[in-house]
Amino acid sequence: MPSPADKTNLSDANDVGKVEEKTFVYKDNFSLTGGGTLAGFELRYEYYGQLNAQRDNAIYICHALTGDHHVAGFYNHDDEKPGWWNHVVGPGKPIDTNRFFVVSSNCLGGCRGSTGPSSEDPKSKGTSYGANFPDLSICDMIRAKRALIDHLGISTLHAVVGGSMGGMQTLQWIVEYPGFVKNAIIIAATAQHSVQTIAFNEAGRCSIRGDLGWKDGSYEKNEGPAQGLSVARMMAHITYLSDLGMEEKFGGDQRLDSSEDFEFSVQGYLDHQGKKFVDRFDANSYLKLTEALDRFNLVGEHGLANAVANVDTRTLVIAFSSDWLYTPKQNKDIADALIKAGKNASYLEIDHSHGHDSFLIDSGPFLKALGSFLQGEDTTTEQALEEDGFRKLKNRYEVKKEADFRAIDDWVAPKDKVLDLGCGRGLLLEHLREAKDVHGLGVDWELNKSISCISRKVPIYQEEILAALSKFSDNSFDWVIFSRMVESLPEPGKIIEQAIRVGHKVAVSFVNHGYWRNRWNFLFKGRRVCNEVYPHQWESSHLSNHFSISEFEDFSKRLHANGMQVNLGRKLFYRGDWVNKCSFLPNLRAGLAIYEIVKGS
Amino acid sequence: MPSPADKTNLSDANDVGKVEEKTFVYKDNFSLTGGGTLAGFELRYEYYGQLNAQRDNAIYICHALTGDHHVAGFYNHDDEKPGWWNHVVGPGKPIDTNRFFVVSSNCLGGCRGSTGPSSEDPKSKGTSYGANFPDLSICDMIRAKRALIDHLGISTLHAVVGGSMGGMQTLQWIVEYPGFVKNAIIIAATAQHSVQTIAFNEAGRCSIRGDLGWKDGSYEKNEGPAQGLSVARMMAHITYLSDLGMEEKFGGDQRLDSSEDFEFSVQGYLDHQGKKFVDRFDANSYLKLTEALDRFNLVGEHGLANAVANVDTRTLVIAFSSDWLYTPKQNKDIADALIKAGKNASYLEIDHSHGHDSFLIDSGPFLKALGSFLQGEDTTTEQALEEDGFRKLKNRYEVKKEADFRAIDDWVAPKDKVLDLGCGRGLLLEHLREAKDVHGLGVDWELNKSISCISRKVPIYQEEILAALSKFSDNSFDWVIFSRMVESLPEPGKIIEQAIRVGHKVAVSFVNHGYWRNRWNFLFKGRRVCNEVYPHQWESSHLSNHFSISEFEDFSKRLHANGMQVNLGRKLFYRGDWVNKCSFLPNLRAGLAIYEIVKGS
């Protein structure tokens, strides 16, 4: 959509180097979803890297509304800037051109070389389509891209990746061609424009159409509605940035403009953005493309989960915290629907202050997420592991993990669907996948841990536990596992009830607070234990909700009394070492407990 | 700013009824802050209610950008709508015309009867000022209003109230005329436009100035830049609403327009808003007023606290959770500065989904806040009291409150400045004010409780404890009091350290978790106590951080060891009944403890 990333050193050895534009010519009639037909079309495209012998290493990159096919590298040595995603695509980069054959095309309806309103209308000699260009949809753009991929002799795509409108196209790719795309990364996108977004687009279109220069769309080249297009761009540009991002760039000491042309520096910036846009973009293209975006609606009457029912693609959805154009909620809705429909889908939310445009910015966690998903390498550094609170308890934690692994591995059946709440770096689900071929989904709210899951190919939903549980359908998992965090949940009863709703069986593993050493300590000292297991003094503790085996058993009885048809199933108690089992007086003698809750009549 | 509230029944007995516009004529030269001069001006105004004999019951209402002086009542029986705040102003309403004399005027620079760009320029015979109207500021508007108030023979205002631009004017009132205004309510406002807001305004102005009909501002009446003004209005209107509010109104089943004119219903709505606005507003006024807003900046180089140093007004700032034009943060900044400068200021944040326009909507909590502040009546219903979790423990809580009252009343000196963290309904601060004439400020994050404080004339800052503490200057209070919530704070040590930074002395009152009954219960049952004091079973507990006298004393030793110059001062221990004192083995025998922490070298 917006302006490319900061200028990169063109002589960078990791660059794809000098690249060339190609043109794909489709000569047949091409029917559009809106009812119109094009007598053929052209797509301007570029590629980087080598197509392998199996022709299965291609990645298609879809650009945003006002972006184009020039993703990486440069055309000439004196280019001011490289392609708009040069920091993402190249040798050794997250989208690694040493491994992948990367293709991108200017979308149908665009104005950067592909057929669009400014192209010559074959029916009229010498004049462009203008406003006569037929109504266009995101689906039409994908079908045209598919024609290019067929032309290149590629029968399956390793991945499709795109942000903003490119993310919507990526979603449309996997819906339109089930199984054709092995992996998809949908970034800062939506399955349906919000009313607010339609409203902003409409104000922009009114600005263009109200400009006398528009002439009902039949303006001459270089004589279009410059004023109207410029205002539309200014306004839209604000929606690509965040309040905070604008404040950082044009607030404080930079608030007032140093020139005499403007009072505030942001005025000069917007003026520049507007003028630059008029030079590089066609007003009719802008109208047609924003209409296609407003109309894009995979939610429809039957819901998004229904629309994605046939998807057969491993998918990652990435949102940015400060994106208020296509909000985290809208992106999460896409992941929700895929998960609801039983697909392999992950959701990450990256904390970034640059608003919608964050996907264009060179930022570590984002690049790591892309690379981990496409290449499956755990790039987690030792430092990141240190940040994991459990690292401090390394031995204890490893011991508990071992105990959980053994019990849950024993209980879970091959090919079960398993939801791991508070899954951390995804080790349990990775283990269950290797050992039992389970279909796992992890939930954790920490980005670093979630990216680790991605690198292990463990699907991850980055969210708070209760919010995540509320999204899942009844009985949609065989197992729901609380492996290490029940004591950090407020009103845990409600959350466990949700888990019972979502899963057929629930496994709860917890440190028994009724263990005799805790009682002893409290009796004689009147204070909490402070040791490896409970590492913090009162004043530096997070809030918690420790509980004992007795309390848990009483709770399960109350569940029953409240009419829930659940029973405690298998139980495992470990002594204070968390290694040796114990069965006599567990509430006093056990340090660790693992329970199975079984739903039944 | 935006459209008036929903149509009200004009025959409502609580209405101010039929009202008349008046015109105030100021005949002298009037110098403007931007350097220009007006050879006199007129203000169109209205009033409701009776000015009392002391002439001290007047309330001035300031309207928003595109609002006007017609606040309440109607001009004719066939008026389609009453004044824009008819649900707020009237007999028995929050701004009660039975008690107050309510005045409002169209602002200088406006186009609803007061002198503005569309008024005749006395220097040119018969033509309007147009773009020659001098640059205007919010301060100029206030000075013109002050001239009207002087003309009406009013020497002190009981209150000034305003939302949006009206809120900025209200802030300017109390800064410009210290002591003249006894009470002020600043609603959905800011002390400085964000860069994002300037950017939106600038896009709107470009739309107007770029319209050929603008003619450098010298258009004839009814021949202005209709298209440009309409687009500016559409865009601005989006910023007055919230994403969620638009979705509720124009999303879901209402998404598509039923007419043939538009595809989406929001398009029709925006089109209507744009056209209606062109009929009622002057483009040059819009330019001048938005420029005045963009330039309004009480933060400046020396900060807002400095700008409000001379304020002598009891002030309430109200923000709405979904307002993204003038955000809660921007409103809070105003309250922060007033508090920092030692003023009597309160801050409320009302959870409302209608965005910036929430202040125009008839909503219970908002009206209650206005009425409580202006009339000082506690309108808290029994139901609201029931919602107070402590109500369940009525007896216990009353007992603890009694103990706290006695201790703190004993410790606090007359006229001390006291900060009460988690102040609830403000009873302690009300008591200390009555008993010791203390200057109190309460902090609580619950709106209902905060409004109760307002009605007791206890200044309240509605915010989370740690966020609130971080705003206050070092040593800005004589006492900081934790009366009933330390155990609900994560990492309480950090928070207590902040309290020590902010206050000279800190009082901490807490339930001793080391009390023998708790130990006994845990020893024999291995589970938490569940009684009046600890009312919840494990599964329905919120997270907590209970602690004992020993733990608290150890913490204070560690503070000392970490180099903080603090000592424990007076201590009070109560037995299990929280009434009788005890001193022997308090960690075992005391149910309640109250500590004084004293800062010293």
Q: How confident is the model at residue A395 (pLDDT cuts 50, 70, 90)?
A: low
Query: How far does B584 lie from chain A, in Å, by closest CA?
Result: 15
Q: Give pLDDT tens digits for B533-545.
A: 788 888 888 888 8
Local structure of residue A598 (DSSP, 8 states)? E
pLDDT of residue A377: 61
Rounded to the nearest 10 degrees, what angle do helices B243-250 and B265-280 cross at? 110
How buried is residue A537: exposed, middle or buried, by Cβ count under 10 Å (0-12/13-18/19+)? middle
Is residue A105's pLDDT more than 90? Answer: yes
Tokens of residue B390, six digits: 């402590």
pLDDT of residue B377: 61
Contact B246 A194 (CB under 8 A): yes
Q: How confident is the model at residue A388 (pLDDT cuts 50, 70, 90)?
A: very low
Interface check A310 vs B, CB under 8 A: no
> Each residue of B93-121: b (16+ CB within 10 Å) or e?
bbbbbebbbbbbbbbbbbbbbbbbbbbeb
Q: Give pLDDT tens digits for A527-545.
A: 888 887 788 888 888 888 8
Is residue B12's pLDDT more than 80? Answer: no
pLDDT of residue B540: 86
Interface check A543 vs B, CB under 8 A: yes
How buried is residue B310: exposed, middle or buried, by Cβ count under 10 Å (0-12/13-18/19+)? middle
Contact B541 A491 (CB under 8 A): yes
Query: How far does B406 lie from chain A, in Å, by closest CA?
Result: 27
Interface check A492 vs B, CB under 8 A: yes
Other beta carbons within 10 angstroms of residue A376's beta carbon come to: 11
Q: Which phi and psi (to 5°) does residue A405 adopt?
A: -55, -50
How far apart CA A48 and CA A31 sit, in angstroms, is: 30
Q: Which phi and psi (to 5°) does residue B344 adopt?
A: -80, 95
In the stretch 240-279 of chain B, residues with CB closer than 8 A to chain A read 241, 243, 246-247, 249-251, 255, 263-264, 266-267, 270-271, 274
Supply angle C-alpha B35, B38, B42, rounded to 5: 140
Q: Which helix (H) or strand (E) holds A140?
A: helix A138-151
Residue of A nearest to B253 (CA): A301
- Dihedral sign, CA of A395, A401, A403, A406? negative
Q: Give pLDDT tens digits for A488-498.
A: 888 999 999 99
Supply angle C-alpha B445, B447, B453, rounded to 5: 90
Q: Give pLDDT tens digits for B66-101.
A: 999 999 999 998 999 999 999 999 999 999 999 999
Q: Residue B212: list chain A partners with CB under 8 A.
A: 212
Specify whether B164 is catalytic. yes
Contact A490 B526 (CB under 8 A): no
Q: Residue A485: list chain B partners with CB under 8 A.
A: none
CB B488 within 8 A of CB B466: no
Length of chain A counted residue by residue = 601
Report chain A's mean pLDDT, rounded to a whole number: 92
In the stretch 94-123 of chain A, residues with CB closer than 8 A to chain B read none
Is residue A142's pLDDT more than 70? Answer: yes
pLDDT of residue A600: 75
CA distances from B154 to A255, B52, B54, B180 (A): 39, 10, 9, 10
- Lowest average pLDDT, out of A478-482, B6-10, B172-176, B201-205, goes to B6-10
Q: Considering only CA atoms, which of A597, A594, A596, A585 is closest in space to residue A559?
A: A597
Q: Considering only CA atoms, which of B453, B405, B461 is closest in space to residue B428?
A: B405
Rounded to an integer, the average pLDDT of A333-356 is: 97
pLDDT of residue A159: 98
- Dihedral sign, CA of A264, A265, A268, A270? negative
pLDDT of residue A378: 52
Where do the H-state alpha helices sit in A6-77?
A: none
Question: What is the residue whose two structure tokens read 């709508």?
Answer: B81
Q: Give pLDDT tens digits for A31-84.
A: 999 999 999 999 999 999 999 999 999 999 999 999 999 999 999 989 999 999
Is residue A577's pLDDT more than 90? Answer: no
Is residue B598's pLDDT more than 50? Answer: yes
CA distances from B423 to B23, B351, B432, B461, B469 (A): 47, 20, 12, 10, 14
C-alpha dihedral (B152, B157, B162, B167), degrees to nearest 10: 110
Other beta carbons within 10 angstroms of residue A357's beta carbon come to: 26
Contacts of A251 (CB under 8 A, 6+ apart): B194, B195
Is residue B1's pLDDT more than 60? Answer: no
Is residue A15's pLDDT more than 70? Answer: yes
pLDDT of residue A69: 98
How far apart CA A539 and CA A516 sit, in angstroms, is: 24
Q: Which of A207, A250, A526 sits opposite B548 (nearest CB)?
A: A526
Please give the span between the terminal C-alpha atoms of chain A, in angstroms, as a whole number: 55
Rounded to an integer, the average pLDDT of B29-55 is: 97
How far apart CA A486 and CA A496 sit, in angstroms, is: 9
Contact A526 B542 (CB under 8 A): no
Query: How far does B63 lie from chain A, in Å, by closest CA?
Result: 26
Write down all domains in chain A, each with its CATH number in brackets. Answer: 1-85+94-135 (3.40.50.1820), 156-192+299-375 (3.40.50.1820), 213-293 (1.10.1740.110), 384-599 (3.40.50.150)
Report chain B's mean pLDDT, rounded to a whole number: 92
pLDDT of residue A521: 86
Q: Please name every residue paired with A116 in a beta bridge, in sequence order, or none if there are none.
A: none
Q: Which residue did the predictor score with more confidence, A501 or A5? A: A501
CB B169 within 8 A of CB B138: yes
Tokens of residue B468, six digits: 């609130």
CA atoms within 13 A on the CB side of A443: 24
Is residue B392's pLDDT more than 70? Answer: no
CB B139 within 8 A of CB B172: yes
Size of interface A-B (CB pairs under 8 A): 249
Indicate the pairing of strand A592-599 with strand A503-511: antiparallel
How far apart CA A354 and CA A241 sit, in angstroms, is: 6
- Would you say the ipTM is above 0.90? yes
Interface test with chain B among A538, A547, A551, by most B beta carbons within 10 Å: A538
Is residue B180's pLDDT more than 60? Answer: yes
Rounded to an integer, the average pLDDT of A294-316 is: 97
Q: How confident is the model at residue A2 (pLDDT cuts 50, 70, 90)?
A: very low
pLDDT of residue B394: 52
Q: Give pLDDT tens digits for B417-463.
A: 999 999 999 999 999 999 999 999 999 999 999 999 999 999 999 99
pLDDT of residue A270: 97
pLDDT of residue B77: 87
Contact A199 B522 (CB under 8 A): no
* DSSP string covering B105-129: EPPTT-SSSSSSTTSB-TTSSS-B-
CB B107 within 8 A of CB B141: yes
Q: Please name every residue paired with B316 in a beta bridge, in sequence order, or none if there are none.
A: B185, B346
Contacts of A406 (CB under 8 A, 6+ apart): none
Q: Considering only CA atoms, which of A48, A58, A106, A17 is closest in space to residue A374?
A: A58
Rounded to an integer, the average pLDDT of A293-297 is: 98
Q: Which of B274, B538, B544 sits opposite A543 (nearest CB)?
A: B544
Q: Give pLDDT tens digits for B116-151.
A: 999 999 988 889 999 999 999 999 999 999 999 999
Q: Give pLDDT tens digits for A398-455.
A: 777 788 888 999 999 999 999 999 999 999 999 999 999 999 999 999 999 999 999 9
pLDDT of residue A394: 53
CA distances from A268 to A271, A272, A557, B540, B560 (A): 5, 6, 68, 56, 55
Query: Considering the entire predicted model, what is its pTM?
Result: 0.94
Is residue B176's pLDDT more than 80? Answer: yes
Rounded to an integer, the average pLDDT of A153-170 is: 98
How far apart CA B599 and CA B500 sit, in angstroms, is: 7
Local structure of residue A131 (DSSP, 8 states)? G
In the stretch 207-246 of chain B, residues with CB closer than 8 A to chain A read 207, 210-212, 227-228, 230-231, 234-235, 238, 241, 243, 246
Q: Residue A251: list chain B partners with CB under 8 A.
A: 194-195
Tokens of residue A587, six digits: 């509430």
Q: Considering only CA atoms, which of A508, A579, A575, A511 is closest in space to residue A547?
A: A511
Contact A537 B527 (CB under 8 A): no
* DSSP string covering A229-298: HHHHHHHHHHHHS-HHHHHHHHSGGGSB-SSSS-SBHHHHHHHHHHHHHHHH--HHHHHHHHHHHHH-BS
CB A199 within 8 A of CB B270: yes
Q: Considering only CA atoms, which of A545, A450, A552, A436 is closest in space to residue A488?
A: A545
CB B448 within 8 A of CB B428: no
CB B479 within 8 A of CB B503: yes
